[in-house]
Amino acid sequence: MLDPTILIFLSSGLFLGWSLGANDAANVFGTAVGSRMVRFTTATLICGAFVVLGAFVSGTGAAQTLGKLGAVNALGGSFMAALAAGLTVFWMTKFGLPVSTSQAIIGSIIGWNLFSDSYTDISSLLKILSTWIICPLLAAVIAAFLYSATKLFVRKIGTGLIRMDGYTRLALILAGAFGAYSLGANNIANVMGVFVPVAPFPDIQFGQGFSISSAQQLFLVGGVAIAVGVFTYSRRVMMTVGSELMTLTPLAAWVAVMSHSIVLFLFASERLEQLLANLSLPTIPLVPVSSSQAVVGAVLGIGMLQGGREIQWPRVYEIVKGWVVTPLISCLICFVGLYFLQNVFQQTVHRESKYLLSASVLEKFQKEGIDAAGLSELSDSVFHSSAEVVRAIKEKVTLTSKQGLKVVEFSFQKSLVITPEKISSMDKKGLSRSQLVALKKLQGQTYNFPWQLGDALAVTSTEWEVRGGGLKNKLHDRKIKRKLAYLYRIFQRRER
């Protein structure tokens, strides 16, 4: 039976999902509705259905980067992070501004990191910040290219106006469905990403061939919340995007939706990343990007191609100002809210963790390229936050941002015990026969640090090795790390 308090804490994630649906549905169907090519009711039904499908089927990719930025480790903290982001988006929606849910949840996570004294990975943060610039620019370029190519194509085929009107309406509906799927796949990380580290649902097994993981259940529930937001509160922002930035022809509306959808898909598709890596081409980072920035960038790309005279620049300025203010407001609300939740309502907003610099950990640092020679004074020291251990080491040696992440990963103390009972009850889907055999060989072993189990498995079977280096190895390593994260959760020794 699910603890009722879990549902209370998850309510903020559902509220954030509702706010995202109310705000970001405009980015999918706003141009179609604003140009009066698709009815609002039709738009909401299609958008709601496909956003749930995208969240459930393809939502895992972008959620990984949020976890690197800050892994909220208590339901109370996840509740407040989602609530702060949801309130920020809701207020902006009331003003009719298509703000970035991505920016809101990033602000909340930074707020939690500051309150809990958790380490913020600067490289992950910079990767996300770079997409806030790349996303609208990329959408503008794609939109300008698509608009030019589509106009040329329409001129070549010479279709009559009535028939062309019907084709355009169908194209807008198909593009909107694709856009809704991409929105669910990419932005569900914003809605439920902060709950993944503390995922409260047990995995559901259907026979031997199919199971629904805890994270997938979260994404499904979050997708439904987004759909409800689309149905109930998205009309006003749809009209802002659809008609107030500039007047769009039906053809331009289709181009804007397609450009937005392509950009979201590029930043969410693990299969596309795999394909590019196999072709030895640069991969696109899997991060939750702003659908608002994508569609506004697309509209501006079309407008600039036409000379920029029809663009309502004061309205653009208001929207951009909202993008700048959003993460700051969300961060502040989250920080203050965490203080009240912890000190007034006596709720756990972050769980104290132990970070131990044992001899084995210092040896691991040295193997991973971290200069441990100057850390002898810190041997056997215990720290109670990830930022604290990183600060202590930085006083002795120089650390890059990625090395800071490794310090946190390797010094984090969590006792694991490998028992036959847990092996028999775990979900074995995704494990090869060799990987499972290697795991069974470690029955009865205990480990004080999660990475020790990973190293032991790699020694037992090469299929558990984290290779490092190169695009193809990066994708292989990501799959291995996901499997290891599952094992760390399954075999964690419960404190009595």
pLDDT recorded at residue 344:
93
From 365, 390, 408, give the residue that closes a domain: 408
Average pLDDT over every residue of 308-326 = 85
d(CA 396, CA 399): 9
φ/ψ of residue 412, rounded to 5: -65, 125
Residues 399 and 477 in one domain: no
pLDDT recorded at residue 496:
45
Of the candidates 130, 91, 157, the residue with the CA atom closest to the CA atom of residue 325: 91
For the four alpha carbons of 434, 436, 440 and 445, in that order, the dihedral sign comes to: positive
**pLDDT higher than 50, residue 424:** yes
pLDDT recorded at residue 216:
77
How many other C-beta atoms lie within 10 A of the C-beta of residue 160?
A: 8
**pLDDT-derived band at 454, boundaries 50, 70, 90:** very high
**Which tokens hold the place of 259?**
């450009």
Residues 16 and 99 in one domain: yes
**pLDDT higher than 90, residue 194:** no
- Would residue 496 count as lying in a domain? no
> pLDDT by residue (tens digit) across 238-247?
666 655 667 7
- Would residue 64 count as lying in a domain? yes
φ/ψ of residue 413, rounded to 5: -100, 120
**pLDDT higher than 60, residue 208:** no
Residues 393 and 450 in one domain: no
Residues 324 and 460 in one domain: no
| Greater pLDDT, 64 or 367 | 367
Residues 273 and 314 in one domain: yes
Average pLDDT over every residue of 325-346 = 94
Residues 262 and 208 in one domain: yes
Average pLDDT over every residue of 237-266 = 78
Of the candidates 329, 345, 184, the residue with the CA atom closest to the CA atom of residue 269: 184
∠ CA 370-283-481, nearest 5°, is 50
Return all residues near 306 (Cβ < 8 A) that are at least 6 apart: none
Highest mean pLDDT among 126-140, 178-192, 209-223, 227-241: 126-140
Residues 159 and 271 in one domain: yes
Contact call for residues 201 and 217 (beta carbons, < 8 A): yes
Question: What is the domain range of residue 370?
Answer: 355-408
> pLDDT by residue (tens digit) across 49-103?
999 898 887 766 555 666 667 778 888 898 999 999 989 988 887 776 767 778 8
Contact call for residues 195 and 13 (beta carbons, < 8 A): yes
**pLDDT higher than 50, residue 476:** yes
- Would residue 495 count as lying in a domain? no
Residues 16 and 110 in one domain: yes
Residues 240 and 297 in one domain: yes
Contact call for residues 9 and 79 (beta carbons, < 8 A): yes
> pLDDT by residue (tens digit) across 373-395?
889 899 999 999 999 999 999 99
Averaged confidence pLDDT in the chain? 84
Q: What percent of the chain has pLDDT over 90?
A: 33
**412, β-bridge pairs:** 355
- Would residue 102 count as lying in a domain? yes
From 294, 313, 343, give the residue that closes a domain: 343
**pLDDT-derived band at 341, boundaries 50, 70, 90:** very high
- Would residue 140 count as lying in a domain? yes
Residues 232 and 120 in one domain: yes
In which residue are the tokens 């990625």 written?
A: 402
Residues 114 and 167 in one domain: yes
> pLDDT by residue (tens digit) across 24-41?
776 788 777 777 788 888
**pLDDT higher than 70, residue 231:** yes
| Greater pLDDT, 469 or 126 | 126
Residues 218 and 105 in one domain: yes
- Would residue 349 count as lying in a domain? no
d(CA 373, CA 472): 33
Highest mean pLDDT among 262-266, 270-274, 404-408: 404-408
Q: How many domains does the chain have?
A: 3
- Would residue 458 count as lying in a domain? yes
> pLDDT by residue (tens digit) across 270-299?
777 777 777 777 777 777 788 878 888 998
Q: How many angstroms separate the Cα of 467 from the Cα of each of 5, 77, 100, 479? A: 41, 34, 36, 11
| Greater pLDDT, 322 or 367 | 367
- Would residue 348 count as lying in a domain? no
d(CA 281, CA 263): 18
